[in-house]
Amino acid sequence: MLTDPLDRLAALNRPGATSSDAPRLDIGSDVEIAGRMREDMERSFGEIVHAEGQFWRYEKTCWRPIPEHELRLVAHAYDGAEFSTAAGEPARVKLSKSRIDSILNEMAALVATPDYFTETTVGINCASGFIRFDADGVPHIEPHHRNHRCRHTLRGNWSAGSVAEPPKRSLLARLVDGVFAGDLDADDKVRLIAEVAGSAALGYATKLRQPRAVILKGETAENGKSQILDLVRGMLPGSAIASVTAGRMGDERHIVGLVGKLLNASDELSPSSAIASDTFKAIVTGEPVQGRDVYKSRVEFRPQAQHLFATNTLPVFQGGMDRGVQRRLLVVSFNRVIPPEERIEAIGQRIGQEEPDLLLGWAVDGASRLIRQKGFTTPSTSKIVMNDWLFGADPVLAWVAERVHSRQIIDQEPRIATRIAYEHFREWALAEGFSDRTLPSINAFVQRITANAAGIEYRRFRDGRFFVGMVLTAAWGANPYDRDASVTHE
């Protein structure tokens, strides 16, 4: 007896096949055929699920999408199947594209498990098994199993004795040590890149307390950031990687490319408007979003990819960078031009091809640390670069950082009139080279202070509007005895 539905279809198409070889149906409806198809496929492949717009089956080490042409071929086996009409007359199924589409639609309903891949086991699925992590980040390995609900298998092998620290002469060590050589926070940068790789391998990016897109920034050529991008890509199978820029995340035809992906890596950083969009924020944190392939139904899914971008320059945020954006970005600076004698062509790709076990062990160590810390290591220079970007994008925040202090509020003091604060801000901003055309109005200025200056409150009194708790430094020749201003000398 032929149990594989594709084998049975082949048998029906052999010369000499008769109608008796075709399956017999009761009423010949699309729903009945969908039910029979499900039975056929589960006899051959085990459990079939429909999630995030696709049919999935388990194959040896992970779940894989079932190609649409295979699904349609299984339906073909029912073309010409006999059934009886309501009047008892014999009839045959006549399939067309629209009927097959209808059958697949009904089969999707029969095996629908929308959240099947959202409740996954925390671990890394690799060639030698499934690396599970306990609550403290300690890894151990166990056999592959469908209940892990993994959709990708990394090519590397790992065991409890695998090396976490790459040997000095390995390609991996030469890359990660070389690109950050001379940096005071080089060790933290290397740890961070390992954690990014671990986050991607785990599918853990959106499970962090503070999910972040990581930006590799280097203004000079040959600084190694592209090789680091290739390094993380090279750890994963192609099926786990997307390349969707922030600018394309607003397009449902591109956003659907993130379904089931562990890493979204691009050597292009989009304009600030795209990074500040609600869609970008939702994708980084793993909130439900919708996308659609051309000519297919819209799909709702939760992204899980770690986002990694490379850029030469950071985009300018006109009007400032809101806190939602700030919380979702982490910048790594690449300051060193790699000397010609140290350069190894395509070293990032070669590590994935030639040192997959070493790369996996390094990423497992990063994943273990990430789980233990519940967040990424933040190099000291990353904070500096982020502040420079933030203050360069928002003159109000730059002014607050340089010229404003907060003090405990007692009996509505200290306080300063908003118009006085605004005049001081404008004077400082113009002296710092900010364009008058880009400076906010006084109302927008008040909103920026209220939203971002901790310990300072905006209040209305009978004699005007004030910032309470604000103290300004006397840096513009202001009269420190002005009754409208709280000013200190530095």
Q: How far apart are CA 257 and CA 270, in angstroms?
A: 17
105 and 137 share one domain = no
Q: What is the reported pTM?
A: 0.82
Banded model confidence at residue 20, pLDDT cuts 50, 70, 90: low
Name the H helices within 57-170.
68-76, 97-110
Other CB atoms within a 10 A radius of the CB of residue 335 amount to 15
Within-domain flag for 115: no
269 and 132 share one domain = yes
337 and 439 share one domain = no
Tokens 């999935």 correspond to 56
> For 320-345, what is each residue's pLDDT tens digit?
677 788 889 999 999 999 999 999 99
What is the rounded average pLDDT of the residues 478-485? Answer: 42
Would you state the structure tokens that stand for residue 9, as one six-digit string? Answer: 């279809």
165 and 285 share one domain = yes
> For 306-316, what is each residue's pLDDT tens digit?
999 999 988 87
186 and 274 share one domain = yes
CATH number at residue 207: 3.40.50.300
- Chain-centroid distance of CA 208 in Å reads 11
Among 367, 388, 409, residue at a domain's last position: 388
Sign for the CA dihedral angle at 278, 280, 283, 285 comes to negative
Q: How far apart are CA 488 and CA 147, in angstroms?
A: 64
3-state secondary structure of 353: helix
Q: Which domain holds residue 309?
A: 123-388
Name the domain count of the chain: 3
192 and 334 share one domain = yes
User: Which region holds residue 286: left if phi is over 0, alpha if psi is between -120 and 50, else beta?
Assistant: left
What are the angstrom distances between the C-alpha of 25 and each of 19, 326, 355?
13, 60, 55
251 and 142 share one domain = yes
194 and 329 share one domain = yes
- Of the listed ranges 10-14, 138-142, 268-272, the least confidently predicted one is 10-14
Within-domain flag for 178: yes
Within-domain flag for 118: no
12 and 129 share one domain = no
91 and 136 share one domain = no
Give the per-residue pLDDT at 162.
84
Q: How far apart are CA 98 and CA 112, in angstroms?
A: 21
> For 121-143, what is each residue's pLDDT tens digit?
889 999 999 999 998 999 999 99
Beta strands at 263-266 and 139-142: parallel, antiparallel or unpaired: unpaired
Q: How far apart are CA 467 and CA 471, in angstroms?
A: 9
154 and 272 share one domain = yes
Amino acid at 386: M
Within-domain flag for 117: no
14 pLDDT exceeds 50? no
Within-domain flag for 357: yes
Within-domain flag for 459: yes
Among 110, 142, 173, residue at a domain's last position: 110
Among 331, 363, 388, residue at a domain's last position: 388
